[in-house]
Amino acid sequence: MLFSSPIFVFAFLPLLLALHALVPRAARNALLLVASLLFYWWGEPVASALMVVSILLNWAFGLLVERAQEQARPTSWILGWAIALNLAILFVFKYADWTWNGLSALLQGLGLLDAPLASVGSLLPEGGRLASALLNPDGSVRLPIGISFFTFQAMSYVVDVARRQGRVARNPADIALYVALFPQLIAGPIVRYKDVAEQIVERTVGLERFASGVRRFLIGLGKKMLVANFAAKCCDSIFALPTDQLTPQLAWLGVACYTVQIYFDFSGYSCMAIGLGRMFGFEFLENFQHPYSSQSITEFWRRWHISLSSWFRDYLYIPLGGNRAGKARTYFNLVLVFLLCGLWHGANSTFVVWGLWHGAFLVLERVALGDLLVRAPRALRHLYVMLAVMVGWVYFRAGGIEEAFGILRAMAFAPVGDGLVRYGDLAVSTAAANPLALHADILTWFALAAGCIGSTPWLPIVAAWHAGLEANGRSALARLLDILGTLLLLVVFFLCALEMAGGAYNPFIYFRF
């Protein structure tokens, strides 16, 4: 059930908001939990049971950790089992096929196998209920939507309890609501239990907070429907071409569209999640802070997917020693963390390369590049960041390493093929066979222009100016801005409704992670 689907916007959300306002305060958590489980069950009826098992396991581990602490016994073995079981669940559903196929290829390469190993799915009883529930039609293991997000959240709860950085939840419904809460369940932001524990027990939904949530939701909906989706159509069209049919112009246009799409798709989802949380009385931390305005890759990762980067920092980088064990160990830790960050996004060698790419830049900026950037002009620093990020997005988007290399060669104005597209005996140039106009229409250029403007921090600047007007007694002008802002959001909602009614392209990129 997508946030940008008619059934959510015009049925699920209004009904739930009405019920949330009508039921007694004591029943609101139960209502939200039931609604959240229904929300997830709508798209993942089988995996819903897996999420419930994960919730109960981590709730029990939290209690075991607390009991061990009260009895002054070591908690490391409990924490070890909790982490191992969480990672095992993630591995089976996300990485088993990739690992199995890699092992098969390795054994064939060594001459130890004459044919590839049978699929992982073949290990299950054929035709049984378990196989039909866990496997795709091709025999591969099904990837439950949002499994990385809810697994990381549940695991961080146990770790925080073991570190005495968060209190234990004695009521399993509290942990269930924390993990399954539908605004952030599927694609984050990754929420820490200690940040919402008090809000689960007691929260208020005032008119101002509710209105702020509605505005934030509409901004996110506009990002998704009117920018990301328009950019995605052109991007998908270009990336579907064989790489030997790419011209430099097409390659750059495709990557530019993906650069806009992934940011506005994911930040749009985060905006909607934060807005929905406010409508129900929750405050989630920001997940994006205008990352494309960064002046270094280090700064980029302080602004991009903040909940994930801070998760890896607190639960992996710092425990590994962070930057406290010398330069060599610091560089190793950075590369390892970003290698695992790439793998978190998916079981594919392209994600590994993407993670290593960013890890290498973080190391380079610590070694020497950072000092050079400080002295470089601001425009040059920004150009460097965008080039590095866009090249990284090629690996993130491409279906394989070879495809990524082909796109990068086209972007570098290096010939990928012979520059011809053949239709039987007829051969025409790639530029003639695939002109830009075939892939990009007026909506594409609108999305790119809106992406460039929307990637800058102009909204916080306007908000600060608005606050200054009220502070200086110019409240009439401030109210006029409020009215204009409200009218603009109504126009955005109307246009989004038209797109939804037309069945426009709509999947969220991060749902598959």
Q: How does pLDDT run across 234-272, given as a tens digit for each residue?
A: 999 999 988 888 888 999 999 999 999 999 999 999 999
Same-domain status, 219 and 191: no
Which value, in Å, is the radius of gyration of the alpha carbons in the chain?
25
Domain count of the fold of the chain = 2
In-domain check, residue 486: no
Read off the pLDDT band of 282 (50, 70, 90).
Answer: very high
**423 three-class SS:** strand
Same-domain status, 176 and 220: no
Q: Give pLDDT, residue 106.
A: 80
Q: How does pLDDT run across 212-227, given as a tens digit for each residue?
A: 999 999 999 999 999 9
Same-domain status, 292 and 216: yes
Mean of the pLDDT values across residues 338-350? 91
Same-domain status, 214 and 105: no
Same-domain status, 347 and 389: yes
Assess whether the previous peptide bond of 189 is cis (omega < 30° from 0): yes
19, 511 in Cβ contact below 8 A? no
In-domain check, residue 495: no
Same-domain status, 195 and 241: no
Q: Give pLDDT, residue 200.
A: 92
- Tell me the percentage of the chain whose pLDDT exceeds 90: 57
DSSP run (H or E) holding 259? helix 248-279
Cα gap 339→92, rounded to integer Å = 19
Same-domain status, 124 and 162: yes
DSSP 8-state code for residue 364: H
Q: Read out DSSP for 302-351?
A: HHSSHHHHHHHIIIIITTTTTTSS-HHHHHHHHHHHHHHHHHHH-SSHHH
- Domain termination site, one of 432, 454, 476: 454
Read off the pLDDT band of 287 (50, 70, 90).
Answer: very high
Q: How does pLDDT run across 382-432, given as a tens digit for each residue?
A: 999 999 999 999 999 998 999 999 999 999 987 666 666 666 666 666 766
Q: How does pLDDT run across 308-332, given as a tens digit for each residue?
A: 999 999 999 999 988 888 889 999 9
Same-domain status, 120 and 25: yes
**Greater pLDDT, 123 or 83:** 83
Which residues are known catalytic residues? 345
In-domain check, residue 226: yes
In-domain check, residue 488: no
- Which of 67-76, 358-367, 401-410, 459-468 is predicted with the least confidence, judged by mean pLDDT? 459-468
Read off the pLDDT band of 111 (50, 70, 90).
Answer: confident
Read off the pLDDT band of 511 (50, 70, 90).
Answer: low
When the pLDDT of each residue in the chain is averaged and rounded to a whole number, the result is: 88
Q: What is the token pair recorded at 403?
A: 């495809």
Cα gap 353→401, rounded to integer Å = 9
**Residue written as tokens 């999420």?**
51
Reply yes or no on whether the pLDDT at 473 is more than 80: no
Mean of the pLDDT values across residues 422-446? 77
DSSP 8-state code for residue 12: I
Mean of the pLDDT values across residues 143-152? 88
- Domain termination site, one of 203, 218, 238: 203
Read off the pLDDT band of 133 (50, 70, 90).
Answer: low
**456 three-class SS:** coil
Same-domain status, 266 and 193: no
| Number of other CB atoms surrounding residue 154 within 10 Å | 27
- Domain termination site, one of 203, 227, 251: 203
Q: Give pLDDT, residue 465.
A: 79
In-domain check, residue 32: yes
Q: Which residues pair with 426 in a beta bridge?
A: 423
Q: Read out DSSP for 36-62?
A: HHHHHHHH-TTHHHHHHHHHHHHHHHH
Reply yes or no on whether the pLDDT at 97 is more than 90: no
Reply yes or no on whether the pLDDT at 140 is more than 80: no
Cα gap 142→158, rounded to integer Å = 26
Same-domain status, 175 and 293: no
Which residue from 482, 299, 478, 471 is spatially nearest to 384, judged by alpha carbons?
299
Same-domain status, 239 and 190: no
In-domain check, residue 460: no
Reply yes or no on whether the pLDDT at 45 is more than 90: no
Q: What is the token pair recorded at 448?
A: 């790119």
The residues, any chain, with a CB within 8 Å of residue 366's CB and separated by 6 or more, are 327, 330, 331, 334
Same-domain status, 44 and 149: yes
Reply yes or no on whether the pLDDT at 61 is more than 70: yes
Q: Give pLDDT, residue 252.
A: 95
b (16+ CB within 10 A) / e for 187-216? bbbbbbbeebbebbeebebeeebbeebbbb
Q: Supply the range of the domain harboring residue 334.
A: 210-454
- Residue 435, phi then psi, degrees to nearest 5: -70, 160
Cα gap 127→97, rounded to integer Å = 19
In-domain check, residue 117: yes
Q: Give pLDDT, residue 280.
A: 95
In-domain check, residue 353: yes
Cα gap 291→281, rounded to integer Å = 27
Q: How does pLDDT run across 182-208, given as a tens digit for each residue?
A: 998 887 788 999 889 899 988 888 899
